[in-house]
Structure 1
Amino acid sequence: MSVPLLGEPLPIELANTAYAVRGEPRDGLENVELFTEWLAAIEDRLPWRLSAEELAAIGDFELTAARELREAVRDIAQAITGRDAAQVAAGSMAGAAPSVGAVETLNRHARWAPYWQELRWQGEPAAQVRSAAPPVTAVLSFIAQEAIDLFVRRHADLRACQGPGCVLLYLQDRPQRRWCSAACGNRARAARHYARHR
């Protein structure tokens, strides 16, 4: 699978399905097959499993919904990451106004498939997450709800990668971090080194 998976929260992983290779835009949700591959790759991070039959049943409706949710998450993230350094340091959201349409889209996806926990008892108590919605709709709704939580609680940590030609997002987990991955950091350092020695 060519779509980058960075171990970030699922809303960021979804946003990062729009990525770049050597500065050229790529779409990790270009078709149903790529979307299905992405869902299979993140399945262990979901609150419930998608069966092979459910993955095989994915069609254009689910793909369109995933793309729509991705664009809403990216729009909101870009508004947040577009703040200046002083606003970030102060934890301020001032000046960060995503489009009303992106917020409405995110909220609509969050409402599509409420989910709940049910108690299961098989020797030990366990919680099983359930939803009455179709499985992929429930997954997208779960990601939308996670995005809302992320934008409310962790907005000050959200960053856009500063690597040359990179368009990925990440959560800053240490003060010195400026790149989505070590590979982007290496490319940025190599580009600076090359520029100095030209």
Structure 2
Amino acid sequence: MGIELTWEWLDGSPALDFANTVLRRGWTEHELVTSPDALSSWLDAAALPAPRPATVTDDDVEAFLHLRDASLRLLRAAAGHGKRQAGDVRTLNEALLSCPEVVVLDESTGSPVARPVGSPAPFTLLLAKLAGEVRDVLAGPRPDLALCDAPGCGGLFFRRRTNQAWCGPPCGNRARVARHHSANDH
């Protein structure tokens, strides 16, 4: 059974959309970004914090997954599922340091804007911006960050209510049906 790439977002947060490119079926995780075509599809659908690179390569997929895996583990740990690992923090910091920024004034609006130092490759800039989005989620207390533990989900989301257990109604329905079946099996 293949997994169709629909890229249904939980809330449009670049950090969570980045981390949630792994899908759980039952208790098995499935990688959704398996090729340059799959990554291009995600880039077309995602709310990106930087311009979309024109093309992506196998090396870009590898770099994306390396940063995504570290970010996923860090975000899950922040949501109370697992421990933060120093190696994952280093991976995130390396992505941030690969494309340092300075804040300058926009010439037309006079508003502060972040600009990369130098001329980084488009994919390097995108990964640095994604790392920045993850850093921003991790930087402050986020009691609303949660992991949906409904069967077949496992996605990270921001709670809209303090007692919210699932990322959305479909996951809540699946969890209640699974609980009902489990209770009837005994």
CA RMSD of aligned residues (A): 2.4
Aligned counterparts of 1:4 and 1:154: Cα–Cα separation in 2: 27
Aligned counterparts of 1:4 and 1:21: Cα–Cα separation in 2: 15
For 1:15-34, list aligned pairs within 5 A: 15-34=19-38
Tell me the equivalent position of 2:95: 109
C-alpha offsets along residues 61-114 of structure 1, whole Å, 9 cap, x if unaligned? 22111101111111112322336xxxxxxxxxxxx7411110100111111112
Tell me the equivalent position of 2:149: 162
Letter of the aligned partner of 1:61 in structure 2? D
C-alpha offsets along residues 126-159 of structure 1, whole Å, 9 cap, x if unaligned? 7765432111211110111121111121432221
For 1:31-42, list aligned pairs within 5 A: 31-42=35-46
CA separation of 1:118 and 1:140: change in aligned 2, threshold 3 A: farther
Tell me the equivalent position of 1:189: 176
Aligned counterparts of 1:146 and 1:68: Cα–Cα separation in 2: 16
Are 2:15 and 1:11 aligned? Answer: yes
Letter of the aligned partner of 1:38 in structure 2? W
Residue 186 of structure 1 deviates from its aligned partner by 0.9
Residue 22 of structure 1 deviates from its aligned partner by 4.5
Residue 181 of structure 1 deviates from its aligned partner by 2.2
Aligned counterparts of 1:161 and 1:69: Cα–Cα separation in 2: 21
- Contact 1:3–1:28 (CA<8 Å) still a contact in 2? no
Calculate percent identity across the aligned residue pairs: 26
For 1:1-198, list aligned pairs within 5 A: 1-43=5-47, 45-46=48-49, 48-50=50-52, 54-56=53-55, 58-82=56-80, 97-116=83-102, 119-121=106-108, 130-131=115-116, 132-198=119-185
Secondary structure at the residue paired with 1:156?
Answer: coil
Aligned residues: 178
Aligned counterparts of 2:100 and 2:25: Cα–Cα separation in 1: 36
More helix by share: 1
Structure 1 residues without counterparts, runs of 5 or longer: 84-95
- Contact 1:8–1:171 (CA<8 Å) still a contact in 2? no
Letter of the aligned partner of 1:66 in structure 2? F
- Contact 1:115–1:138 (CA<8 Å) still a contact in 2? no
TM-score (norm 2): 0.82
Tell me the equivalent position of 1:90: none
CA separation of 1:65 and 1:118: change in aligned 2, threshold 3 A: farther
C-alpha offsets along residues 5-47 of structure 1, whole Å, 9 cap, x if unaligned? 212421211111011235443212111111111111114x42x
Aligned counterparts of 1:42 and 1:165: Cα–Cα separation in 2: 21
TM-score (norm 1): 0.78
CA separation of 1:2 and 1:154: change in aligned 2, threshold 3 A: farther
- Contact 1:163–1:185 (CA<8 Å) still a contact in 2? yes
Letter of the aligned partner of 2:9 in structure 1? L
Structure 2 residues without counterparts, runs of 5 or longer: none
